[in-house]
Amino acid sequence: MNDHKKTVYLASINHAIPPYWQNMANDLGSAVNFAFPCIEIAIDLNLFYSEERGQYHSTLILSKILNRLPKNGEKIIGVTNVDIFVPILTFLFGEAQLGGKGAIVSTCRLHNEFYGLPQDDRLLYARTIKEVLHELGHLLDLVHCRDYECVMHSSTYVEDIDLKKPQFCPVCQSILTTD
């Protein structure tokens, strides 16, 4: 029996994870048996701002996040609150290196206010948890799942995220545990 839990660093970029989300590591840990130590990192995001798009380049931020992976660390997921993009797509909720070390999640479009709806902190938190788990799934080599309640279901609208549960479906779970 190996009681050494695998570790995924959760990096709050420029205080994107508010202090009152201190339960996040626990909540993530109850969906998947990993330790989630939180670290705060500062990144000068202006370097990755696109004047034309009014957004920040996701892949470039991700490469910066990877530089901050602590020694002996295996994986890192950065959380930012700016709106991110890759050149060909209008936006992203997150990006991950499939089977790799690093991922990024943006909370920008997870806010209700972004869509002209009343603020809802609990909903924002729930959506963020799901998106972090989703990108973690990609880091663990999972691809999108057809089960609309599975956290690995592809979400192109925030409403799709709300339909998902903060957990892996039995099929995805079984892929995770056999690896």
Residue 106 near residue 81 (C-beta atoms within 8 A): yes
Q: Give the H/E segment covering residue 78.
A: strand 75-80
- Our finding on whether 91 is near other proteins (CB under 8 A) is yes
Q: Which does 98 bind (CB under 5 to 8 A by kind): Zn ion, other proteins, none?
A: other proteins
Residue 28 near residue 36 (C-beta atoms within 8 A): yes
Q: Would you call 10 helix, strand, or coil by DSSP?
A: strand
Residue 78 near residue 49 (C-beta atoms within 8 A): no
Give the residue with the Cβ less far from other proteins, 12 or 78: 78
Residue 75 near residue 32 (C-beta atoms within 8 A): no
Amino acid at residue number 139: L
Half-sphere exposure of 70 (CA within 13 A, CB side): 13
- Our finding on whether 114 is near other proteins (CB under 8 A) is yes
Nearest distance in Å: CB 96, Zn ion: 7
Count of residues in contact with Zn ion, rule CB under 5 A: 6
Q: Which tokens sit at 168? A: 């892996």
In whole angstroms, what is the distance from residue 98 CA to residue 44 CA? 25
Give the residue with the Cβ less far from other proteins, 121 or 148: 148
Give the residue with the Cβ less far from other proteins, 18 or 49: 49
Q: Which of 131, 135, 149, 159 is catalytic?
A: 135
Give the residue with the Cβ less far from other proteins, 76 or 95: 95
Region of 20-28, 33-41, 68-76, 151-159 interacting with other proteins (CB under 8 A)? 151-159
Q: Give the H/E segment covering residue 76.
A: strand 75-80
- Our finding on whether 30 is near other proteins (CB under 8 A) is no
**9: β partners:** 76
- Our finding on whether 90 is near other proteins (CB under 8 A) is yes
- Is 135 catalytic? The answer is yes
Region of 6-14, 74-82, 97-105, 165-173 interacting with Zn ion (CB under 5 A)? 165-173
Q: Active-site residue numbers?
A: 135
Residues at the interface with other proteins (CB under 8 A): 53, 59, 85-92, 95-98, 109, 114-117, 138, 143-144, 146-149, 154, 156-160, 163, 169-171
